[in-house]
Amino acid sequence: MKGKNLLGGLLIAVAGAAITLLIYTKFVQKPVTVVERDSSTAVLADGKPFLTSFQLGEGQIDFTYAAEQTVHAVVHVRTKSMVKQPDNPFMEWWFGDRYSNQPRERQGFGSGVIISEDGYIVTNNHVIEDAENIEVKLNDNRILSAEVIGRDPTTDIALLKVNVNNLQYLRWGDSEKLKVGEWVLAVGNPFTLGTTVTAGIVSAKGRNLDILEGEYRIESFIQTDAALNSGNSGGALVDTKGLLVGITSAIYSPSGAYAGNSFAIPVSIVKKVVDDLKEYGEVQRAIIGVLITDMTSEEAKKLNMKEVKGALVSKVYDGGAAAEANLKENDVILKIAEVPVNTSAELQEQVAKYRPGDKISITYLRAGKEFTVPVILKNIAGNTNVVTRGMTGMEVFGARLEGLSSKEKRSYKLENGVRIVELGEGLFKDIGLRSGTIITTINGKKVNNSADVRSAIGGGESSLKTIEGYTPDGRFFSYRFGN
């Protein structure tokens, strides 16, 4: 009797479950899913297949495409130069002239980025500066001799050329559209290991590290946490589409090894410098003619500003583009050609895209009111002239200058210097300098090229305080001006 009751209870439970399932599917309208244990598909009750292979969802990043596009367009740069040994009386006594008179070979290493199929390569100026011999090693292990087309110390960019065609190259991206937090890849040759890919995010933009020399240096670095080390300089920073957005240049580290912060020159600057070097052989530097400082909360309060924004004009140089547009000290520049700027680095980056003679708009704040004025940009000499291909050096104060070669430096026993190769009307002629004069320092700063001279003399004739060098017959001179 007990067994019958148990069996009856079981039948009632099964019947109840069936009735409940029928009511649920009839009235709640949710069909039961029957899953077949297959490694590739799951089949629903209505017979439609559901693929179970994994696919990247929204927001998930695959770096392989960008890496494949980049590794064959990044080269290993090798340099050789001869350097004079420092004075060492003991070594000179021991080895005699064999020590003191024999320069030693110095080798350098870095990276470069192929930007055209016919062999143009971008690298850092500091990678190839003073090099007498430059070779590049391609990713397929070919080694080629490279020629320097031009270089620009104020942006730390140099352009090389190899005589070969059909090279894989990187296409320009848009660094201005990069967002903080966006993924990027750094590709270079750290420690001469060979092409190496690292990944990180954009940590910040518009960083000024104060590592380049000269008043007119342009620093507006992209900061990332992609790992860089010695040898990465001149390599590529690319976005996830494999487009070039920067040239890797520096790290910030207490030890000299990677410590979580790396920096790249944005292509908004690189592309303009490259175009100038290809077309003219020298960068056409446009300037506004102002001294700019970053805004602070204290300065904003003094100017009755509700927000800390823009770049503060601390000085306007006479005869410059800003002076002609009636900008004044304590004006706050908010936009360059409609692009907002909030630091001096951002302002420099925007102006660096233009050439002397270009007309742009500047929006500034004065006494709580915004004004927008047209400005015709000038060069350091105060005019809109450009240096065309074939001209020697850059005209400064009526003189055309060219840097001394490494061989000439050794011959003259100089560490640095520029020579006046052509002299016209201007300050240099007025103070008695002649063609052939070698200038070594201006305002206490060593000069190696026309860019250094432009940077050292700052705002024009009034800013020239000291100049030193050697006359054509080898006599040292030192001139001082003003108080």
Q: Which residues are designated catalytic?
A: 126, 156, 233
Which residues contact residue 222 at a Cβ distance below 8 angstroms, ignoring those fewer than 6 apart? 175, 178, 184, 202, 204, 205, 207, 237, 245, 246, 263, 264, 265, 266
> Using an 8 Å Cβ cutoff, are 472 and 436 in contact?
yes
What's the token pair of residue 364?
């500034």
Ramachandran area for residue 93 (φ above 0: left; ψ -120 to 50: alpha; else beta) = alpha
Query: Element (H or E) spanning 395, and its range?
Result: strand 395-396
CA dihedral for 326, 312, 356, 386, sign (positive or negative): positive
Spatial separation of the C-alpha atoms in residues 175 and 193, rounded to whole Å: 28
Q: Is 256 exposed, middle or buried (0-12, 13-18, 19+ CB in 10 A)?
A: exposed
Spatial separation of the C-alpha atoms in residues 340 and 358, rounded to whole Å: 19
Which residues contact residue 221 at a Cβ distance below 8 angstroms, ignoring those fewer than 6 apart? 206, 207, 208, 209, 249, 250, 263, 264, 265, 266, 345
DSSP-derived secondary structure for 27-65 = II--PPP-----SSEEE-TT--EEE------TT----HH
- 3-state SS of 234-300 is CCEEECCCCCEEEEEEEECCCCCCCCCCEEEEEHHHHHHHHHHHHHHCCCCCCECCEEEEECCHHHH
Which residues contact residue 411 at a Cβ distance below 8 angstroms, ignoring those fewer than 6 apart? none
Nearest to 399 by CA among 428, 371, 373, 372: 428
How does DSSP classify residue 85? Answer: P
Spatial separation of the C-alpha atoms in residues 200 and 303, rounded to whole Å: 40
> Using an 8 Å Cβ cutoff, are 41 and 30 in contact?
no
Q: Is 182 exposed, middle or buried (0-12, 13-18, 19+ CB in 10 A)?
A: middle
Angle of CA points 344, 345, 348, to nearest 5°:
85
CA dihedral for 71, 74, 80, 81, sign (positive or negative): negative
